[in-house]
Amino acid sequence: MRNAVMRRAVLTALLSLAAASTARATDLTVGPGARFATITAALAAAQPGDRVLVRAGTYREATLVVRTPRLTVQGDGWPVLDGQGAREVLVIAADDVTVRGLVLTNTGVSSLEDRAGIRARDARNCVIERNRLRDNLWGIYLQRATDCIVRDNDIVAHGAKQTESGNGIHLWYSSGARVERNHIRGHRDGIYFEFSTLGVTRDNVSEQSQRYGMHFMFSDSCRYERNIFRDNNSGVAVMYSRGVVIHDNRFERSWGSAAYGLLLKDIMGGEISDNVFSRNSTGLFVEGSSRLDVRGNEFTQNGWAAKVLADADQNRFTANRFAGNAFDVTTNSSSANSTFDGNWWDEYKGYDLNRDGVGDVAFHPVRLFALVVEQHPAALLLLRSPLVSILDAAERVLPVLTPEALVDKHPLMRPPR
């Protein structure tokens, strides 16, 4: 008897608790014939923890600002939020907000303000996922947002000029961000980290950017993994940062005199491992960086596989594969401040008498012709000429002009892995 009473009391308590929690998480439906006609009205009525459910349709409203914490703004059937070429579309200005399933479009071009499809401003733990952004000046803009997640978004800008375009995903003073599985096309910079530390960028595809597929400035301790950067006007640039890990990415088809698969400038300490650099004018460009561990990368069919300037020091290149490049390594000095050891070079013609897999003759990766082209760029037209082969062969036998110190003393006989 007492037992039954107890049981009923517990049940009632549980039920009331459930009721209370549903009261806290209400769905506010927006759309034609729904409870709210505009998203603005729904956002004004929302309580923390609510969900604003936007039905299919096109919404032309003033810039939407989410000020309610723990709110979820979710699209149902890809509703279109149109900035009408005049304004920013959606701003997240509260913590723990999730934005999902929306189409944000047409912010228009402005020279005075950085209009974004979605902006997170001074927010923590926001989640921006599975949205489509079309023809916005800036795509997703995190501004002093901490520990936010940006994933599975599809961001496209059409036919914009570099001067009239913003970045696909832009982070400014936003630490701890995770940028994953996004697809970005046609913006100025695909992904831009500025003063944003401890970020992780993973599994994104960034292509056809007006400038860089990815651009990092002053962003320490970030990881970039398994991303694909291709057909970007100037490739990828990582500058003025420490402790960068760049692992298992693909850098493809950056063509032009100032285009680099990956440009590293003033990077202190970092790992560049297991990436593929393919068909770039310059695969890897290293300037003023030190203590980089460049390991296990594949350089194929680039114009210049690696340009390592003399002001870059104590960098180690090991177990990389160089194949089918017009030039494997070039530098601008006769001294070698970076070391190459135990790489595989398809141009290596040495032998391995003791069969330990390491060539018995050292390999000088800098060709004489590379130095000639460095000084007389027009001579590039003589690439692959028999004369050039003869000159290179002569220089390899009796190195006079190429940097003697830049040498791989343990060239591999077979490509690693």
* DSSP assignment string, 117-137: EEEEES-BS-EEES-EEES-S
Cβ atoms within 10 Å, residue 241: 25
Q: How far is the CB of 258 from another protein (least distance, A)?
A: 9
Q: How far is the CB of 285 from another protein (least distance, A)?
A: 11
Tokens of 322: 């160089």
For residues 235 and 403, which CB has a smaller minimum distance to another protein in the complex?
235
Residue 115 φ/ψ, nearest 5 degrees: -75, 135
For residues 162 and 389, which CB has a smaller minimum distance to another protein in the complex?
389
Which residue has tokens 């070698």?
Answer: 336
Alpha carbons 221 and 210: distance in angstroms, whole number: 26
Q: How far is the CB of 375 from another protein (least distance, A)?
A: 7
Q: How far is the CB of 389 from another protein (least distance, A)?
A: 6
- 3 state SS of 22: helix
Q: How far is the CB of 412 from another protein (least distance, A)?
A: 13
Q: How far is the CB of 257 from another protein (least distance, A)?
A: 4
Q: Which residues pair with 317 in a beta bridge?
A: 294, 340
Sequence letter at residue 341: D
For residues 48 and 324, which CB has a smaller minimum distance to another protein in the complex?
324
Helix (H) or strand (E) holding 172: strand 169-172
Q: How far is the CB of 305 from another protein (least distance, A)?
A: 10
Alpha carbons 290 and 311: distance in angstroms, whole number: 9
For residues 24 and 376, which CB has a smaller minimum distance to another protein in the complex?
376
For residues 15 and 383, which CB has a smaller minimum distance to another protein in the complex?
383
Question: 330: burial class by Cβ within 10 Å (0-12, 13-18, 19+)?
Answer: buried
> Residues in the site for another protein, rule: CB under 8 A?
253, 255-257, 259, 279-282, 300-304, 323-324, 326-327, 346, 372, 375-390
Sequence letter at residue 14: L
- Pairing type for strands 138-143 and 116-121 reads parallel
For residues 143 and 281, which CB has a smaller minimum distance to another protein in the complex?
281
Question: 311: burial class by Cβ within 10 Å (0-12, 13-18, 19+)?
Answer: middle
Q: Rounding to the nearest 10 degrees, give the CA dihedral for residues 86, 156, 211, 217.
A: 80
Q: How far is the CB of 41 from another protein (least distance, A)?
A: 53
For residues 77 and 256, which CB has a smaller minimum distance to another protein in the complex?
256
For residues 59 and 304, which CB has a smaller minimum distance to another protein in the complex?
304
